[in-house]
Structure formats: structure tokens, C-alpha cells
Amino acid sequence: MLKSPIFIKVLTLLGCMVLLLIPLMLLHNVISERASYRDDVEASLRQSTSGSQKVVGPLIAIPVTEMYTVIRQNDDGTQQKVNEKRTNLYYWLPESLVVKGNQEIETRQIGIYDGKVWHGDFSLKAEFDPARLSEITRAGSIAGDPFIVLSVGDARGIGRVAPAKVNGEAFNVEPGPGMLLNDEQGLHIPLPSRTLDEKLSVELSLSLTGTGELALVPVGRNSELSLVGNWPHPGFMGDFLPEKREVTQSGFQAHWQSSWFANNLDSRFTQGMSERWRALPAFSVNIATPSDQYQLTDRATKYAILLIGLTFMAFFVFETLTSLRLHPMQYLLVGLSLVMFYLILLALSERIGFTAAWISASFAGAIVMLIYLQAVLKGWRNSLAFTGSLLALDGVMWLLLRSEDNALLLGSGVLFVALSAMMLLTKNVDWHTCARRPKKEVKPDVDEEALRIWK
């Protein structure tokens, strides 16, 4: 068996497939390198504009000074009472928070790569109940002037800010988050002390720019966010999924709602809280990019060995059923042309998009294959049949890429059909005869001229 021509042929073809793994690995490195260039463009946009935005507020911060007495030990062993004071920030959270926003996504082109920057206009309305301030009015504490705080992830993205309205009265908005202890970015609105004695209704509107994620922390006892955007591929993968959403080719609409029963945020805003606000749970939407050309090309290369294996199997069956024999170098050249298909696909997809690149690369490879196989297979008929089969396989691979949920089913179906076809076509082949080496004709060691004379 080890000396069988078929066995040697199969080993040779397996060796060819192993060799073709080398250019496939190099191609994978090229895809990763090009994708990293695209990531550098996105990082450059974040650096030049602003990063992801996480909005916290509006809420009211109240500096509270508490007087207390400590007993200190003197050097001579005596004790002394010392009065000291300590100032902390208390956070007055709203009873209700309603936010409405409109998000517009803009594409920025840098060379052949592009990135996404979004611009949003937001209106925020919060209602505050002074009954929650009972704990800071106890004896020994002095409340300072309160101020409204609105924190954002990246202050560079703050654009137009309209004057805030507190119970219908206009107040100026100041830059910076005020006296926040956890080094946040944003803006604040100073308020007079008398506001602590009455219910407050705060209305604020601003424009915000960012890249990547937009998030809103639901600080209200009841919080709502209504967002409309023009991006048809939003990613709702935050701490809370929207209760209602509608995604179309022209954009999306989404509505979130949560309360302290679900998020427990009231207990996380405690005296002198040290937790960074960016770690708080939030409503969020991301500018999700559908599988781009690099992801799709990388996934396509994972099916390359399947495409090459099916092609080699077809040629092997053709050899078995006919008297035509193909050289391993011809197998290798056909395999290299299939690998070149993915390189052309990558190069074209950066310019004309993945779908158009797939069609162009498929037909370019088919034309070359048609001309080459006409000479190898000794005729146009066989060449057309094999080229058409390769185009059909390209179509199946396209379906595999576009149908992630059905990829296993489609891939299994392709292998089943290919194996079944091979079994049916070779069911009458006598493999023992094919594997047997042809016997050489043994000529008698006789001088034919002398035999003629003798006769």
C-alpha cells in the first residue's frame, strides 16, 4: 500500500496543502496589520476630538461642614479636647430625570480609512425633593452654597450650553465640575442657599460631541432616556437594555427607563464617596460597526483551506475517472491562485467595499483559472466546468460569511454534498486496479536478426 501510486499522490496533495498554509499565514498577518492602521485612525480621531462620553447628572452637590471634638494626648501625659471641622460633599439626587437626545453620526476620512464622530443635542429635566436633605440639617453641621453638577466623560466634547433654568429662573453655567472630590470633568451651576428649602425643577440643554460610546447614568429615583440617531447599526450592550427600540436603514429610536429599585444608585452616592463616576451603571449606546472588510476577510481566510481542499478533491476525482494526469506543481499553482484571491479581496475591499471586492476578485480569479485549466485539462469544456464550480464555491463562501448563525449548517452541507458527489462518481472505480503498478513488458533476450536467418 505504501508504494501505491494513489497513496503517494494523496500524500503529495496533502503536502501541497501544508505548503499553502504558509502564504495563508502571511496573508493573515497582512490583514492584522491593515486593521491596526484603521484602529490608529480611530485613536487619532479620539485624540483630536473627544473620547466616549458618560453623562452623570444633573444632581446637586452641597458642601457640608461638620464640627466635632477630638481628644489628643499631650507629651506630658495630659489630655486635651480640640475642636475640629471637616467638610464633605453631600449629593442631592433627583426624584425624576428625563433626558431627550438627538445623535448625528459623521464619517471622517483619513487617507483610505475612516472613523466615526457623533454630535448630539440633549435636553435634561430633573425634579428635586428637599425632604431628602433632612440628614444634613442636624445640629453641628453647616451647609454651604449648593451647586448643580453635570459630569461628562471628556470635557472637550462640550459644545453649546444654554443657560440653565431652575424653577423657571435663568442661571449661568460655569465650566468645570466645581468641588467634586473624584476629579471628574463637566460643568456646574452655582445656586443660592435658599434653594435648599424648596422643591427644584432644573432644565438644562447642551450639545455634546464624542467618539464611540454614549452613556447616561440614571441618577433619578425614576430615570428615562429617549434617543434618536441616524446610525443604522447601534450597539445596545450597556448595563440596561432599552425597553423600546426601533432600528431601520435610516437610523434608530430607543427608550430606556430605570429606578433605584433596579440600580440602587441612591446608596452609591454617599458622603465623601470615593467611587469614580465612570464606573457607575448607565444607559448606553455604541456606534457599532458591522463586520468591516478586515473582519470579513479574516473570516474568509479561515474557509480558504476548505476551498482548496474541495478543489484538490475535484481534480483528484477527475484524474481517477479519466486518463489525464495532473502534476503536483499544477495543483500547487491552482492553490496559490486561490490564495491570491484573498489578497486581491483585501486590497479591493479598502477601496470599493467588501461586496464589490468579492465579486471582482471572484471573476478575476475565474478568468485566469479558465485560461489556465483550458491548457491543463486539454479543452474548454472541462475548463468551463471547473471554473463554474469554483464560482459556485465562492458564492457558498459568501453565504457562509453573511450567515453567522447558519455557518455551521451551510459548511456541513457543503462538505456532505462534496463527499457524496465523490462517492457517487467513484462508486464503480476499482481502487485495487488503480493502485497496482503497471507491469513492464519483458522482452525475450533473443537476437531477432539471428532468429530470422535461422528460420
The residue ranking higher by pLDDT, 97 or 429, is: 97
pLDDT of residue 98: 95
pLDDT of residue 126: 94
Note the pLDDT tens digit of each residue in 339-396: 888 889 888 888 888 888 888 988 988 898 888 888 888 888 888 888 888 888 888 8
Note the pLDDT tens digit of each residue in 5-22: 777 777 888 888 888 888
pLDDT of residue 57: 83
pLDDT of residue 350: 82
Which segments within 93-146 are labelled E, that is strand?
Answer: 96-110, 113-128, 141-143
pLDDT of residue 204: 92
Per-residue pLDDT band for 119 (boundaries 50, 70, 90) equals very high
CB 80 within 8 A of CB 258: no
Residue 38 dihedral angles phi and psi, to the nearest 5°: -65, -40
pLDDT of residue 221: 92
Burial 361-374 (b: 16+ CB within 10 A, else e): bbeebbeebbebbb
Q: Does the pLDDT value for residue 435 go beyond 60?
A: no
Query: What's the whole-number mean pLDDT along residues 234-257?
Result: 89
Note the pLDDT tens digit of each residue in 189-206: 988 877 777 788 999 999
Per-residue pLDDT band for 207 (boundaries 50, 70, 90) equals very high
Residue 198 DSSP code? S
Query: What's the whole-number mean pLDDT along residues 245-257?
Result: 91
pLDDT of residue 125: 95
Measuring CA to CA, how many Å separate 101 from each of 121, 203, 228? 6, 14, 6
Query: What's the whole-number mean pLDDT along residues 73-94?
Result: 77
